[in-house]
Structure 1
Amino acid sequence: MGSSARYDFVIAANRLPVDQHTNPDGSTEWRTAPGGLVTAMDSVMRSWEGNAAWVGWAGFPGEAPEPFDEGKLRLHPVPLSTKELSDYYEGFSNDTLWPLYHDVIVPPTFHRSWWTCYREINQRFAEAVCEVAAEGATVWIHDYQLQLVPALVRDRRPDVRIGWFNHIPFPPVELFAQLPWRSSILRGLLGADFLGFQRPDDARNFGRSCRAVLGATTKGEKIEWSGADDDRLGGAPRTVRAAAVPISIDAVGLRELADSEAVQERAEEIRASLGNPDVVVLGVDRLDYTKGIRHRLRAIGELYDDGSISPDEVTFIQVATPSRERVEAYRTLREQIEGTVGRINGDVSHLGATAIHYLHQSYPREEMAALYQVADVMLITPLRDGMNLVAKEYVTARHDGKGALVLSEFTGAAQEMPQAYLCNPHDITGLKETILRAISDEPAEKERRMKALRRRVRKHDVQTWAQDFLNGLESAPERPRSGARGEA
């Protein structure tokens, strides 16, 4: 299709679902990018019957590539300069919004220049969406990097249906109110017809913020706002709906992958390379201060130190995918974690028995499926997490009736997965006790828990999530108006 083609379904996210790779011969190719959003949306897009486009950054600074097709999906790259990446992405998105939305685990940084850049990039994304969206299209905007886009698109294209989904938590108003640009963020989001959140508490937090900051009124999931102080919305009243629509995974696809002969053989190789320990404990995270990696390492280290477990019998693998390494808080976190791993291994490991295997790299889905098969205990301990799809991936891959999931109660997944071994990662003593219980419980008890968890994920998979969201968008309180503004 040509560059002037229009699409009846448009996704807008910070990143495109592909990364550009350079081959040894100098040629380049696009490969599916890692990450929860891409993994979740991939199966949704494969089953979409109409024509669809994805608007996002291509993954490298400078001029954007020309729009291109990936399968049946049209990819429309948005350019970002090195300076814009620093201010909009590393700065405002990940050093202002991210810590603020994750309980201020580290203090957020407020810079007016970052905010100015964030507004400019959101305007750029909105223009790209308007360019590719057909008359009456469905537009699905994703995550905290693009919170101004709904209203910006609404202003130019009142004919389209706009949904926005937040993949991370939305903070209580007492924390959100710290943001100097709180009113602008809320006005941007209220341009959507339907706003989806991971947990009911997140949707309620958003409604409370709209009441406290904008003077909106709420009734159940509906938010009514006069719009009187927003020229871009023409002073028109808005009624939107904000609800919990927890994200999930492609359960069928992952189970088929885990069942494949190659993955089964790789799992056996991994366990053998570890020396066939009695118990393998696994952690899989982005290297992020919200994930509670330091807390679990402290608990594991104390279990080794006090003799509750030994490296001859129990091995811990921590996969820490590199993340935002130009942000100071992330560089500090990496140094702290690597120092802790080195101390524990130096204190308790011996030849032929390594206590902790620390892997600071990303792996393809096939390797992750094999690691899930190897893990007798999955250790997921975020201090705050919107959902945590690793929990759902693990229980799906371990459909052999074995395995045990230790899960922080501060994840969105905990509300859907009460049969897990729930824990408070701040309580190191309690975390240690939970890990030991997950290791030592009778096989029948573990199988009972895992069976219930798998049933839940299978019933509420990514297709169910997408359909629930699109149904919510279709039944949103207001109907789009015909016509478009601001276009030649």
Structure 2
Amino acid sequence: MPQDTFDLVIAANRLPVDRVREGGRSVWRRSPGGLVTAMESVMSGRDGAWIGWSGVPGKAPAAFEQGGMSLHPVALSAEEVRDYYEGFSNASLWPLYHDVIVPPTFRRRWQSAYDGVNRRFAETAAGLAAKNATVWVHDYQLQQVPQLLRELRPDLRIGWFNHIPFPPVELFMQLPARDAMLRGLLGADFLGFQRRTDAQNFLRACRQLLVDDDISVKADVVHAPDGHECRAAAVPISIDTAGMAELAETSGVQERAAEIRKQLGNPEHLLLGIDRLDYTKGIRHRLKALEEMYREGTLDPTETKFIQVATPSRERLDAYQHIKSEVEQTVGRINGEHAIFGAPPVTYLHRSFPREEMAAMFVAADVMLVTPLRDGMNLVAKEYVAAHDHSGALVLSEFTGAANELKQSYLCNPHDIARTKRTITRAIEASPEERARRMRAMHRQVQRHDVQHWAERFLSNLAAAPRQP
């Protein structure tokens, strides 16, 4: 049985596991995704608990142990899934925080559900945290938890990390709940963001929108009238670099990578994209560029193949159904025009894959295309680099947090299709020496700044934050 209280409590929207059917029985399996990958090694060996939704509406399962972690499910009703998660989190906050690529929708019922769920998370964390414990809250779904938790347990050290961008104040001020959202975050001792720009956007929002709250912002610290101080700074997330590098070198992954290339006809060039099926990921722009390159003859469909993995995401929302339909139509058009006797230039895979298969695809690919329109970090780019130390090429959007660190990638503006095409061509045609030089530099970067480095930086910043007198 899980213990009663813990020195470290992680609060995230989802648990790091999913309930699946195997051999006629229901079991918990590790979830895909950047947060789980990043936090798995952070939690290893620590006296910690993870609270989150199980992914199924209704009564929460009892607490349980999995992979050395104590997991504590939080219940969400079907209505709360609709209003808190699909509504306020993903139809209001997500598009607003991603530069309004899709217009956000605001409904008071959604905001009310968000408030209620955030309070439930705060109460659960308060009950699990030992005296003077550290609580690390994650992401945009739980922005009110820090203040609610501080009201319940002022003895706690509270941190929050934003995995997505934080928008400029000119966009953020559209949010009807903007003041409550800022006050909720200011309950933390330390706020971590992916980029310095994101932290600055938050500080500007506090300075401009909380003018009636008698707060002051000095450098990177927000000072509240009661003496509480909240610091905001960039602490970019990373990956388990050593784990991915070791996995990529195993004989099983190497053999599978060779098999993937063989199944595709051993093309001269193999391009790869791996994304959640989300309108922020730039999949349509990427396919548009490739479609034109095949049509113009820049790419030979018999010699240059492209694999696009699109992991299912939020498929009940209209915007996601629309992007799914557009991507499928574009892939069908490209293959209809350029396939030769069952050998399509684009292989489209709309499903999740285990980590070993992802590693094999990384190893197999000559060029990785990571071209989001907006992304807080993008850990797939770092995973591809970790799987290569002297080969491969990374085409990377300027609008990712990863672009600030992986400066030897082939940077592109995915909105500029013509320049994106030229960038892809440069990456494909680069000499082995140029690719090796670029990849080695990026590999050193992700080796030095891995997930453990990220966690230690965040937790040391949190521990150093001044406490309320």
Q: TM-score range by the shorter chain?
A: over 0.9
Query: Aligned match of 1:83 in 79, 84, 93?
Result: 79
Counterpart in the other structure of 1:230: none
Give the Å deviation of 1:463. Answer: 0.1
Contact map agreement 1:391 1:413 (CA 8 A) in 2: yes
Counterpart in the other structure of 1:7: 6
Give the Å deviation of 1:348. Answer: 1.4
Counterpart in the other structure of 1:41: 39
Query: Aligned match of 2:434 in 421, 424, 445?
Result: 445
Q: Secondary structure at the match of 1:62?
A: coil
Contact map agreement 1:53 1:74 (CA 8 A) in 2: yes
CA distance in 2, matches of 1:23, 1:279: 37
| 2:247 equivalent to 1:220 | no
Q: CA RMSD in A?
A: 1.0
CA distance in 1, matches of 2:2, 2:199: 39
Query: Aligned match of 1:371 in 361, 364, 377?
Result: 361
Q: Secondary structure at the match of 1:162?
A: strand
Counterpart in the other structure of 1:279: 269
- Unaligned runs of 5+ residues in structure 2 are none
Query: Aligned match of 1:164 in 119, 138, 160?
Result: 160
Q: Secondary structure at the match of 1:178?
A: coil
Amino acid in the other structure paired with 2:258: E
Counterpart in the other structure of 1:28: 26
Give the Å deviation of 1:155. Answer: 0.1
Q: Number of matched residues?
A: 466
Amino acid in the other structure paired with 1:160: L
Q: Secondary structure at the match of 1:310?
A: coil
| 2:192 equivalent to 1:196 | yes
Q: Secondary structure at the match of 1:430?
A: helix
Contact map agreement 1:198 1:245 (CA 8 A) in 2: yes
CA distance in 2, matches of 1:338, 1:382: 18
Counterpart in the other structure of 1:361: 351
1:161-186: CA deviation from partner (whole Å, max 9, x where unpaired): 00000000000000000001100000
Q: Secondary structure at the match of 1:150?
A: helix
Range with bigger deviation, 307-316 or 215-224 = 215-224
Contact map agreement 2:139 2:161 (CA 8 A) in 1: yes
1:321-344: CA deviation from partner (whole Å, max 9, x where unpaired): 000000000000000110011111
Amino acid in the other structure paired with 1:35: G
CA distance in 1, matches of 2:2, 2:196: 42
1:196-231: CA deviation from partner (whole Å, max 9, x where unpaired): 0000000000000000111332222111232xxxxx
Contact map agreement 1:240 1:478 (CA 8 A) in 2: no
Moved over 3 A (4+): none
Give the Å deviation of 1:350. Answer: 1.3
CA distance in 2, matches of 1:85, 1:454: 40
Give the Å deviation of 1:352. Answer: 4.8
Counterpart in the other structure of 1:485: none
Amino acid in the other structure paired with 1:306: E
Amino acid in the other structure paired with 2:384: Y
Contact map agreement 2:2 2:64 (CA 8 A) in 1: no
1:50-102: CA deviation from partner (whole Å, max 9, x where unpaired): x2110100111110011111243211100011111000000000000000000
1:14-55: CA deviation from partner (whole Å, max 9, x where unpaired): 000111112232x2211111110000000111142xx21101
Q: Percent identity?
A: 61
TM-score, normalised to structure 2, is: 0.98
Q: Secondary structure at the match of 1:158?
A: coil
CA distance in 2, matches of 1:259, 1:443: 20
1:256-309: CA deviation from partner (whole Å, max 9, x where unpaired): 111111111111111100000000000000000000001000000000000001
CA distance in 1, matches of 2:143, 2:222: 17
Give the Å deviation of 1:477. Answer: 2.4
Amino acid in the other structure paired with 2:217: T
Contact map agreement 2:57 2:77 (CA 8 A) in 1: yes
- Unaligned runs of 5+ residues in structure 1 are 227-235, 482-488
Amino acid in the other structure paired with 2:33: G
Query: Following superposition of structure 1 onto structure 2, how do residues 32-71 of structure 1 map, counting pairs within 5 Å?
Result: 32-48=30-46, 51-71=47-67
CA distance in 2, matches of 1:219, 1:403: 44
Give the Å deviation of 1:353. Answer: 3.1
CA distance in 2, matches of 1:128, 1:394: 37
| 2:243 equivalent to 1:253 | yes
Contact map agreement 1:52 1:72 (CA 8 A) in 2: no
CA distance in 2, matches of 1:309, 1:336: 22
Amino acid in the other structure paired with 1:32: R
Counterpart in the other structure of 1:125: 121
CA distance in 1, matches of 2:422, 2:467: 51
1:132-180: CA deviation from partner (whole Å, max 9, x where unpaired): 0000000000000000000000001000000000000000000000001
CA distance in 2, matches of 1:66, 1:352: 50
Counterpart in the other structure of 1:392: 382
